[in-house]
Amino acid sequence: MTQEEFDERFRETLDELLLAIAESSEIDLNKFYSMTCILENLRFFSPVLYGAIAKAKE
């Protein structure tokens, strides 16, 4: 898997996770906004995550 494929799949997964959380009737809005910030920060670090995974496979 290339880094571009990883970035795309990672982004899609995070978007699906946010959608699932947003559709939950039990979620507190403050917690939702906090989780959104955390997931956005994870998206920013996807190249670092890809590098760590690729290095671990070697």
Q: What is the pTM of this model?
A: 0.75
Encoded tokens for 26: 């039990």
pLDDT at 5 over 90: yes
Kindly report, residue by residue over 8-48, the tens digit of the pLDDT. 999 999 999 989 988 888 888 888 888 889 888 888 888 88
State the Cα angle at 55 between 53 and 58, rounded to 5°.
115
**AA identity, residue 37:** C
**Domain chopping of the chain, boundaries:** 3-57
Given this model, what pLDDT does residue 12 score? 93
Provide the pLDDT for residue 30.
83
